[in-house]
Amino acid sequence: MKRSVRLLSLLAAILLLLAACSTAEEAEPAPEGGGEDVITEPALEEPTEPAADTDADTDADADASAQSILEVAQDNPQLSQLVQAIEAAGLTDALEQAGPLTVFAPNDEAFAKLDQSDLTALLTDPASLGDRLQYHVVEGSLPSSELTDGEALTTAEGSELMVSVDGSTIMVGDAEVVQADIQAGNGVIHVIDTVLEP
């Protein structure tokens, strides 16, 4: 009887020992497998999303800067009168293909300030209109940061255009730059509030 009890006790101890070992072996790989899942999944997701956004931004910038000065003006609702004048003067090819150029572009409000009979006369006289428009064009691409107070710019028409800078206010002749640095593939546009006169 005593021998049976001892055998049973010994057998129970062996079984407990085996059970403890097998539990430790099974539990040991679980954290490794779990650790791999946690580390691997975010590493695949994180780099891909920002890269896609960067590509999209780059493509949008490239599309905008690939347009010519004329195309940028045509897409700007503030410049519809200027586009009409450019077409009437026969300057569309120059603003599509030439460059780099800086254009001081009068907005529609600037054209509205003109006497309408004078504007009508200009639109029916392509040579005079062309000269007037070329007074708004300077050779080279000049961002607003490069326009300096007291500078005299030589226009495509041949006359000089004076620049004055006071803080953030930029004037060319008697016109104020109301929107600066609109980029185009062949230059830059600065929108002004007055039609310039040589």
87-88-92 Cα angle (round to 5)? 25
Prediction pTM value: 0.68
Displacement of CA 81 from its chain's centroid (Å): 25
Neighbours of 62 (CB within 10 A): 10
Which amino acid is residue 50, in one-letter code?
P
- For residues 13 and 22, give the distance between their C-alpha atoms in angstroms, rounded to a whole number: 14
| Three-state DSSP string of 55-78 | HHHHHHHHHHHHCCHHHHHHCCHH
Neighbours of 36 (CB within 10 A): 10
Neighbours of 79 (CB within 10 A): 24
Residue by residue, pLDDT tens for the chain (198 residues) are 544 445 445 555 555 545 554 444 444 444 454 444 544 444 444 444 444 454 544 444 455 568 999 999 999 999 999 999 999 999 999 898 888 999 999 999 999 999 999 889 989 999 999 999 999 999 999 999 999 999 999 999 999 999 999 999 999 999 999 999 999 999 999 999 999 999
